[in-house]
Amino acid sequence: MKKRAAMRAPCWSLPDLIQSPSVLMMIGAFLLVLGPLVVFHELGHYLVARLFKVRSDVFSIGFGKELAGWTDRRGTRWKIAALPLGGYVQFAGDMNAASVPDPALANASAEELRGTFQAAKLWQRALIVLAGPVANLFLAIAIFWVFAISYGVPVAPPRIGGFSEHSAAQTAGLRVGDTITAIDGAPISSFFEIAERVAIYPGRTVTVEAERDGRRISTPVTLETAVDKDEFGNEIRRGMLGVRATALEFKPVGPVEAVGVAVDQSIGSVRMMAIGLGQIVSGERPVSEMGGPIKIAKFSGERLALGWPEFVAFAALISINLAFINLLPIPTLDGGHLAFYAAEAIRRRPLGARSQEWAFRTGLAFVLAVMLFVTVNDLVALFPIGK
């Protein structure tokens, strides 16, 4: 009996030891991520509008029916709505939450327009709109700054200390001791920059420049396509050179140096998001990699299950994602408004009310279609058809 019991004893792996989050935990973590990020984004709009004496009629967290709210002494209605998938600030003079100008004010006098969004100067309107995404970027930088001060910065020279099995770099002729200096012409000064330059390009052939015994060499390398799984079974597809560092240490940084580290991390995240979106549009990456609210909720719960540092780091990435998406030149998004203001600056007059209305309707339809698509995409990923 003892032998039989020993044979049946399970062998636990890392994913087995980490409990998958419940649906309730995922929902709670999702709201804990999205709620503060949306508040911070909308506060950016609101505070800059106040700076320019533009009144705000509504400050809403979520869309749809109001669940709770109050009106402050400035006349702003602060409310929490039923659908917690975003939020908005509606300024005086706006017809709706998409900031479409109220046509009733088309022939209003300067006195009647005082304090409305339309009465603000063009550059002021642009700064009010830009303030939301910028607030999200600042929040992410602040989080990365705290992490850099708290944990230090990983440091390793870009020198090859070894190779993984079936290494693409070793197959291409690189050797232990070679120092990688550039990838596709982009300078490399740290071992961690190597992963940043290749992870987004699985299967692509890149040109690697290196130093060997005082000589400069250059060789094409076809990156490995590695498909790994995290602690919860999520597949991660990335490009790899298949090299190992010679040494790794965490270097303490001061508050000033940490600012540069945090800004670099944020810029790197934005660059990878832009490249990834371009690859999806071009067909280089499958659309299944796009995620919507369900996938964000799933990842939020999983990061929270790993601990608060993982969860907060994930929130920083979502904050950058929120800023990036909102800056896309799509009507109804902040980037769409900025595109209108750019056109107004060039034409020396705003687009016609009818043109703006149709643009906003088209933009809203596009955004809703994308939301529907990514939601279906999430459901298919969670419940694969045919399995």
Are 303 and 314 contacting, i.e. CB atoms less than 8 angstroms apart? Answer: yes
Return the pLDDT at 17: 41
Return the pLDDT at 317: 95
pTM of the model: 0.85
The conformation of residue 194, written as its DSSP 8-state character, comes to H
CATH superfamily of 154-251: PDZ domain (2.30.42.10)
Q: How far apart are CA 204 and CA 32, in angstroms?
A: 38
Segments making up each domain of the chain, as ranges: 154-251
Return the pLDDT at 265: 93
Q: How far apart are CA 209 and CA 181, in angstroms?
A: 6
Q: Which of 68, 339, 381 is nearest to 234 (CA)?
A: 381
Are 163 and 243 contacting, i.e. CB atoms less than 8 angstroms apart? Answer: yes
Residue 104: what are its φ and ψ, rounded to 5°? -65, -15
- Output the six-digit token pair for 182: 């550039």
**Dihedral angle sign, alpha carbons of residues 199, 202, 207, 212:** positive
The conformation of residue 307, written as its DSSP 8-state character, comes to -
Q: Which of 133, 183, 116 is nearest to 328 (CA)?
A: 133
Each residue's pLDDT tens digit, 29-87: 998 998 899 999 999 999 999 999 999 999 998 888 999 999 999 999 999 998 877 78
Q: How far apart are CA 241 and CA 208, in angstroms?
A: 10
N-to-C CA span, the chain: 37
Are 89 and 81 contacting, i.e. CB atoms less than 8 angstroms apart? Answer: no
Q: How far apart are CA 140 and CA 314, in angstroms?
A: 10
Return the pLDDT at 5: 37
Are 258 and 137 contacting, i.e. CB atoms less than 8 angstroms apart? Answer: no
Q: Where are the beta strands (DSSP E) in 74-177?
A: 77-91, 153-155, 160-163
Each residue's pLDDT tens digit, 304-334: 999 999 999 999 999 999 999 999 999 889 9
The distance from CA 46 to its chain's CA centroid, rounded to whole angstroms, is 22
Return the pLDDT at 241: 93
Return the pLDDT at 281: 84
**Positions marked catalytic:** 42
Q: Which of 303, 221, 238 is nearest to 272 (CA)?
A: 238
Spans of the chain below 70 pLDDT: 1-19, 96-104, 106, 383-387
Are 79 and 59 contacting, i.e. CB atoms less than 8 angstroms apart? Answer: yes
